[in-house]
């Protein structure tokens, strides 16, 4: 290779690497410097809930472990990525489940962001094309396994504070798990969808709180998304994020039709909702943190029961 061509090649390689890195935006880092998760929790609860703070990375470093195996039986295992918040205390565990024809890596940034705010996160890889009823029941088994043997993941997990997060059809699987008695303190549904199963029957059985974070219905309408708010009897809240597509509820996402700013809106809302469930066991903190976004129209279609 000639020197001139080699320089061009190196330049193109560098530009390619920078382009890849740009896929994950630099959201900045909070100026808070708590010594522990408990100290962070106390500070946040004593001050006005503010969603903007969760748009930035949290104060804790994150340790990632890729492709760990959760072995439910000698013949059955579930692959996952683990994101541990680098502090010594026990802390809540936020479990993410992808949607149709998707993969765990599409929620890696969300999991790392949550972990930077002191909560550990686990992203599961389940069958990408369902059946989602089976995936919901498999998710239930995974959560029960972790609750019984937390050291199989990490001994700093607080098994009494597990939060489930599901995107699209993964959101349906999360509600099935909650209805089947998965030991979770709350569920976060990312523009959930359902098709081909009797989901209303499961939704009526849910007794733990649910936060639904939806795309803009004028941009994308997930299949039967209205079922979730309609059939959960109580303890559910729903908001839509202005201009967001279905794919914006992932981060990173395979599709090019996404906007980083909107993906950051989703991840900040996920973090606030998870913190709300983990600390108070309800939606109050998260709902309060959305106040400014309700006023400026970034969040709309707000309702709760």
Binned at pLDDT 50, 70 and 90, residue 258 comes out as confident
> If you average pLDDT over every residue of the chain, what do you get?
90
Residue-wise DSSP of 49-109: --HHHHHSB-SS-EEEEEEEEEEEETTEEEEEEEEEESSSS-EEEEEEE--TT--GGGGHH
Containing 143, the helix (H) or strand (E) segment is helix 132-148
Q: Which domain holds residue 109?
A: 29-304
In a domain? residue 227: yes
In a domain? residue 14: no
User: What is the spatial distance between Cα 69 and Cα 77, in angstroms, rounded to a whole number?
Assistant: 6
Q: Which two tokens stand for residue 84?
A: 């541990």
Q: Above 70 in pLDDT, residue 64?
A: yes
For residue 133, the model assigns a pLDDT of 95
Q: Above 70 in pLDDT, residue 14?
A: no
Q: How far apart are the first and last CA of the chain?
A: 67
Residue 179 and residue 202 in contact, taking contact as beta carbons nearer than 8 Å: yes
- Sheet containing 157-167, strands listed edge to edge, beginning at the edge strand earlier in sequence: 62-73, 76-85, 120-125, 91-97, 157-167, 186-190, 210-214, 236-241, 299-304
Task: Please tell me whether residue 199 adopts helix, strand or coil conformation.
Answer: helix
152-183 confidence digits (pLDDT tens): 999 999 999 999 999 999 999 999 999 999 99
Binned at pLDDT 50, 70 and 90, residue 123 comes out as very high
Q: Above 80 in pLDDT, residue 90?
A: yes
Q: Tell me the sheet residues that pair with 241.
A: 299
b/e for 168-181, b at 16 or more Cβ within 10 A?
A: bbbbbbbbbbbbbe
Q: Above 50 in pLDDT, residue 15?
A: no
In a domain? residue 87: yes
In a domain? residue 212: yes
In a domain? residue 237: yes
For residue 20, the model assigns a pLDDT of 34
In a domain? residue 181: yes
For residue 257, the model assigns a pLDDT of 62
Residue 226 belongs to domain with CATH number: 3.40.50.1820
User: What is the spatial distance between Cα 192 and Cα 265, in angstroms, rounded to a whole number?
Assistant: 17
Mean pLDDT of 93-105: 96
In a domain? residue 47: yes
Q: Which two tokens stand for residue 189?
A: 């549904």
For residue 8, the model assigns a pLDDT of 35
Closest residue by Cα to residue 166 from 249, 261, 69:
249
> Which residues lie closer than 8 Å to 302 by C-beta, 6 or more apart?
237, 238, 239, 290, 294
Counted domains in the chain? 1
Mean pLDDT of 225-231: 97
For residue 130, the model assigns a pLDDT of 79
Dihedral sign computed on CA atoms, order 164, 170, 173, 179: positive
In a domain? residue 3: no
């Amino acid at each position: 290779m000639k020197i001139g061509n080699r320089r061009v090649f190196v330049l193109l390689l560098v530009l390619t690497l920078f382009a890849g890195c740009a896929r994950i935006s630099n959201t900045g880092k909070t100026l808070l410097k708590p010594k522990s998760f408990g100290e962070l929790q106390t500070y946040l609860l004593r001050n006005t809930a503010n969603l903007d703070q969760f748009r930035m990375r949290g104060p804790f470093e994150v340790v990632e472990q890729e492709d760990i195996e959760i072995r439910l039986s000698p013949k059955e295992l579930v692959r996952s990525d683990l994101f541990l918040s680098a502090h010594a205390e026990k802390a809540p565990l936020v479990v993410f489940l992808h949607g149709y024809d998707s993969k765990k890596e599409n929620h890696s940034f969300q999991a790392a962001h949550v972990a930077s705010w002191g909560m550990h996160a686990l992203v599961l890889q389940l069958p990408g094309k369902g059946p989602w009823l089976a995936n919901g029941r498999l998710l239930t088994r995974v959560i029960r396994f972790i609750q019984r043997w937390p050291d199989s993941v990490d001994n700093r997990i607080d098994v009494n504070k597990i939060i489930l997060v599901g995107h699209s059809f993964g959101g349906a699987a999360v509600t099935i798990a909650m209805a089947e008695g998965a030991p979770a303190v709350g569920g976060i549904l990312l523009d959930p969808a359902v098709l081909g199963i009797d989901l209303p029957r499961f939704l009526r059985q849910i007794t733990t709180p649910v936060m639904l974070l939806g795309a803009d219905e004028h941009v994308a309408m997930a299949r039967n998304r209205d079922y979730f708010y309609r059939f959960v009897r109580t303890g559910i809240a729903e908001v839509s994020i202005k201009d967001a597509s279905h794919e914006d509820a992932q981060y990173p996402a395979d599709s090019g039709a996404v906007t980083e700013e909107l993906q950051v809106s989703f991840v900040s809302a996920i973090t606030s909702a998870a913190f709300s469930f983990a600390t108070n066991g309800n939606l109050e903190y998260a709902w309060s943190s959305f106040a400014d976004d309700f006023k400026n129209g970034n969040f709309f279609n707000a309702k709760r029961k």
